[in-house]
Amino acid sequence: MRRLPPLNALRALEAAGRHASFTRAAEELHVTPGAISRQIKHLEETFGLTLFERKAGALVATSRCLEYTRALSDAFQRVENATGKLLNFERDRELNLSCSMTFALRWLVPRLPDFHALHPEWLMRMTAALPPPRLIDGSDVDAFIQLNDGSQTDLEYEHLITNELVPVCSPALLAAGEALSQPSDLARFPLLHSLLRPSHWPDWLAAVGATDVDASAGNFHGSSALAYQAAIEGLGVAMGQVAFVLDDIKAGRLVTPFRIIVADNENFNFIWGPQGRTRKVEELHGWIMKQAADHKVAVQQATSDYERISKSDG
């Protein structure tokens, strides 16, 4: 392979030829005119050719230099165009999803290896949950998964997972001796709250009629995921979202002292981003809906003997 001149020298020559000025070339490349002069002198020595001649006190490109700089301009333009296509291709491969940290950690991420195996062409980019999306937001997020009733967005959405609530705690907490046989017994235990879901404990207690339990008592955590981990460590009783604690219940890390599930008025929805039904979003949507359907079956099997009531029943 033939050795090419240094790229910086070629850029200096192309700019000097295009502007017919070392000074303007230096301004474009953010260097000094002296640096441009040295680069061109280096090329003249390399090529054994005179590229610029001094005429009437000014440096003028030779005809062969002008022909070469025009070819360089075309080449640099092709490189710029190819780079733009490359970067756009990489951006097109990105699949930007917005969801809550708890949803990502406890439901989505454990399932993602399957998605990546089926669709290795997409590069998943997950961000923390954003405010309810609107069509006019101009967001570059391709899809959202949010807990809401659907009224907070004018974007297209579809129900993904029913949000159901059930108290959970560590088996060790129950083994410590304090009785926890009916909801009113919760008054003797620390309640573990999520600052992001402050209504969950009051809603569940109201639905089951446990009006003697202070729904605001206990410890507050920055997310449901933190509250669940605190429950696993035996620090109290957390209000579990069934979708997020089912695996811990199956593994014995958490138990449900009461077999009463309260259905929330809000559900997890899949929301198409402002770009709509693009191919990558449709592939994510199809996959995640299948995962949600399988999850629904698993929940039904694991909680078939639980009583289910809605918030409005309480």
Given this model, what pLDDT does residue 131 score? 58
Cα 244 to Cα 167: distance, rounded to the nearest angstrom: 12
Domain ranges of the chain: 7-92, 100-314
Tokens of 41: 């002198």
Instruction: With H, G, I as helix, E, B as strand and everything else as coil, classify residue 240.
Output: strand
Greatest C-alpha distance within the chain: 103
Q: What is the dihedral of CA 27, 31, 33, 39, to 10 degrees?
A: -120
7-33 confidence digits (pLDDT tens):
889 999 898 888 888 888 888 889 998
Torsion, CA 143, CA 146, CA 148, CA 150, rounded to 10: 10
Higher pLDDT, 188 or 81: 188
The answer, as to whether pTM is greater than 0.75, is no
Q: From CA 230, how far away is CA 255, in angstroms rounded? A: 13
Supply the pLDDT for residue 1.
44
pLDDT-based confidence at residue 224 (cuts at 50, 70, 90)? very high
- Topology adopted by domain 100-314: D-Maltodextrin-Binding Protein; domain 2 (3.40.190)
Tokens of 229: 């981990």
| Mean pLDDT (the chain, rounded) | 87
Contact, 87 vs 58, CB < 8 A?
Answer: no
CATH class as words, domain 7-92: mainly alpha
For residue 314, what pLDDT is reported?
47
Give the separation between CA 223 and CA 77, rounded to whole angstroms. 50
The string of DSSP codes covering 168-222 is EB-HHHHHTS---SSGGGGGGS-EEEETT-TTHHHHHHHHHT-TTS-TT-SEEES
pLDDT above 90: percentage of residues in the chain: 46
Burial 98-134 (b: 16+ CB within 10 A, else e): bbbbbbbbbbbeeeeeebeeeeeebebebeebeebbe
Contact of 169 with 227, CB cutoff 8 Å: no
Residues 79-121 have pLDDT tens digits of 887 776 666 655 678 899 999 889 999 999 999 999 999 999 9
Decide: helix, strand or coil at residue 227.
helix
